[in-house]
Homo-oligomer: A and B are copies of this chain.
């Protein structure tokens, strides 16, 4: 953990280093992924099976390619009742929030008689990647699948690697609840390529979303354009702005809720109270020892944690904008939090007040937990129904409307040296 104070003469340099620190692996996996992607494109299922055997250690001919819907239902019915109720509450709230994101169509006729509009439709099919192993989270299944269903996607496909054939029943239960239509027991770059190009067994999809390791991320990047993808995701981050009236234990827990994800996760506190900063630092150290995730949390906090003491909380705002954090908590009285939030330019998701820990947003609040990381909140947004929809613009002129705007089109087409463009308008003008 580093501790900075804005009045320190070295502050500017130290804070710039924090902003520019690269926590993302620069893994040179591009060539491996290119080989895998081409093999799946050219050889289909045979390549998928061969990579699954080599990388996940099981033979799809034995374990089976698909996980059947009956297995999803069985996993769901096997859940303890409290967990089932929690998943159901989460699913209900996430679906409600995302359904309201569906954009309105447009259809207007302007003053010269030109009809102008835009129409939104869901993509036909979407694929959701769900990692195996440590990062196999049922909440991720809900957060990726439910926006697709809210958008109206008719065919929702899930792919998930099952190392040595093992599946995660919580993930299958969430897939049941989210209404996933097909689940394939495959992962890695080969699964992304199979979704993008399709194989004899797996029909192609139009959009692929969901988190994954460096191979999965690189495969999505290489296949961007063949399919639509969500934003590349990096290590998780939280920034907390807190005054001295908070309980240091609460804020420490919030910081650790990111640190425990991964050794590359980052947690940063901004406070205007140096004594409170001390108290939070102590509470973090004490709480880490009590966590089953203590090793990861310790590594992440030591390497990427920071506490920044500012003169006033206002002073934190331009610094926070430079970080453009995935998650931003503003733990102050409601009116103060509101005033600060008004002036935040760049953040993926914001948590206002003393009773809104970021983790409540990870699971049950409703907004998506798939959010831009690595300063990408400067230009990108959390996952939404828009990632599973596309807009068709449209236009209709009658002879009168075309007479009003057509001559300008003819002039511009001629200036650009495109005579057939000009002619297609001019003929209709009777020219």
Contacts and interface: CB of A to CB of B under 8 A. Distances in A.
Contacts of A349: 392-395
Interface string A344-355: 111111111111
B227 A360 contact: no
Nearest to A292: B419
Interface in A359-417: 359-368, 371-372, 374, 376-382, 384, 386, 390-399, 401-402, 405-409, 411-413, 415-417
Given A396-B352, A415-B170, A419-B291, A357 B250 contact: no
A102 to B, nearest CB: 12
A124 B380 CA distance: 12
A224 B221 contact: yes
Contact of A362 (B101, B371, B409): B409
A93 interface: yes
A319 interface: no
Interface in A331-355: 334, 337, 341, 344-355
A418 B164 CA distance: 24
B90 A412 contact: yes
A254 to B, nearest CB: 5
Contacts of A118: 101, 367
Contacts of A299: none
Contacts of A78: none
A378 B390 contact: yes
A344 B424 contact: no
A366 B427 contact: no
A116 interface: yes
Given A382-B391, A405-B89, A420 B357 contact: no
Q: Which residue of A261, A368, A411 has the most chain B CB atoms within 10 A of its CB atom?
A: A411
Nearest to A170: B415
B399 A355 contact: yes
Contacts of A401: 355
A31 to B, nearest CB: 10
A138 interface: yes
Contacts of A362: 409, 413, 421
Contact of A379 (B101, B227, B256, B377): B227
Interface of A: 82-83, 85-87, 89-90, 93, 96-97, 100-101, 103, 106, 108, 110, 114-116, 118, 121, 123-124, 137-139, 170, 206-207, 221, 224-225, 227-228, 231-232, 247, 249-250, 253-254, 256-257, 259-261, 287, 291-293, 297, 334, 337, 341, 344-368, 371-372, 374, 376-382, 384, 386, 390-399, 401-402, 405-409, 411-413, 415-425, 427-428
9 nearest A-B pairs in the assembled complex, by CB-CB distance: A228-B379, A86-B408, A256-B420, A253-B424, A367-B393, A352-B396, A381-B391, A359-B421, A86-B411
